[in-house]
Amino acid sequence: KRNIVQVELEEKLSTFVCFQAALLYTSSKGDRRIRVHTMCLPTTADLAQVYNNFDLKATVSLIAKIGVDRSLTGSPLSDSREAIVNAVVDALGAYQRAMRQGRAGGLLAPRHGHLRLFPLYALAMLKHTSFCAGRSIKLDDRVAAMLMLRFCPLEQILSEFYPQMYRINEILQHSFRTYDNEFSEKVHSFVRHVTALKFYLGPVIIVTEESPIREIVVRRLVDDRTESTHSYVEFLQHIKREINS
């Protein structure tokens, strides 16, 4: 189990900052105990180092879970979508101001670290079933996706928003059973390997061009433009306009 804590600092930082949390619990023998966790972290005045060590996994998880909590407690879905966009605008805008290297006509992001991937995962969140706008998403599907994100572990949440895609040429069209040939054995071995990396055993579904669930697959192609969503390039242009406005 992981806890997310937002900290607001009002005083000047020293060389190190310390975080401490205490857990009061009852052991299996009925004893009342307190477990104290202490973490000390170094601080730096080098903003470039701060941005280069941007934690994409924790940030995306935090924004997603806050957005889900807002939606499940009655806030409009548009508020969560706006908060996702604003998070990217604030992060990249602050980076450009701090580095003092903003160029007209270009969107500045660090070459190193994961901050440069933040807009991509923000767009992925906007296209996810939990936050996707429009009436094409069934309410049951949206709520199920939100609850999954609410309890989703950090190790899984990035791949949930931006799935890993693998190219398999000439895959069997009508069946996924194992045939007595080298290609079929390699495909099934590959699927077993990918499945072993996950926390759950997912089904293997073959989606054709005419499949009724084709839209679900298309929506997961985050970089591409759809009828109702931006492409990644268009989204970057939108972020740039918001920063410069």
The reported pTM is: 0.78
- Domain presence at residue 4: no
First to last CA, the chain: 41
Which amino acid makes up residue 12? K
What does the pLDDT look like over 200-228, one tens digit per residue? 666 777 788 888 888 778 888 888 887 77
Residues near 245 by beta carbon (within 8 Å), at least 6 away in sequence: none
- Domain presence at residue 2: no
pLDDT for 185 equals 77
Which amino acid makes up residue 141? D
Question: Are 52 and 149 members of one domain?
Answer: yes
Question: Are 101 and 139 members of one domain?
Answer: yes
Mean pLDDT of the chain: 84
What does the pLDDT look like over 223-244, one tens digit per residue? 888 777 889 999 999 998 998 8
124 in Cβ contact with 161 (< 8 Å): yes
Q: Within 13 A of 212's CA, how many CA atoms are on the CB side?
A: 0
Tell me the DSSP string of 180-216. Answer: SSHHHHHHHHHHHHHHHTSSS-PPP----TT-TTHHH
- CATH of residue 107: 1.20.120.730
- Domain presence at residue 146: yes
- Domain presence at residue 38: no
Question: Are 127 and 206 members of one domain?
Answer: no
Cα distance between residue 237 and residue 245, in whole Å:
12
Question: Are 125 and 80 members of one domain?
Answer: yes
- Domain presence at residue 29: no
Question: Are 230 and 120 members of one domain?
Answer: yes
What does the pLDDT look like over 93-140, one tens digit per residue? 988 888 765 455 556 777 778 999 999 999 999 999 999 888 888 899
Question: Are 66 and 123 members of one domain?
Answer: yes
Which amino acid makes up residue 168? I
Question: Are 102 and 191 members of one domain?
Answer: no
Total count of domains within the chain: 2
Cα distance between residue 32 and residue 121, in whole Å:
43
What does the pLDDT look like over 60-80, one tens digit per residue? 999 999 999 999 998 999 999
- Greater pLDDT, 101 or 32: 32
Question: Are 66 and 138 members of one domain?
Answer: yes
Residues above pLDDT 70, as percent of the chain: 88
DSSP SS3 for 25: strand
Question: Are 183 and 155 members of one domain?
Answer: no
- Domain presence at residue 7: no
Question: Are 61 and 113 members of one domain?
Answer: yes
- Report which of 157, 158, 154, 181 is spatially closest to residue 170, judged by C-alpha positions: 181
Which stretch of DSSP H or E encloses residue 124? helix 118-127
- Domain presence at residue 3: no
- Domain presence at residue 95: yes
pLDDT for residue 174 is more than 50:
no
Cα distance between residue 109 and residue 220, in whole Å:
24
Residue 121, domain extent: 48-163+220-244
Question: Are 128 and 149 members of one domain?
Answer: yes
Which amino acid makes up residue 142? R
Which stretch of DSSP H or E encloses residue 19? strand 16-26
Question: Are 154 and 187 members of one domain?
Answer: no
Cα distance between residue 215 and residue 220, in whole Å:
9
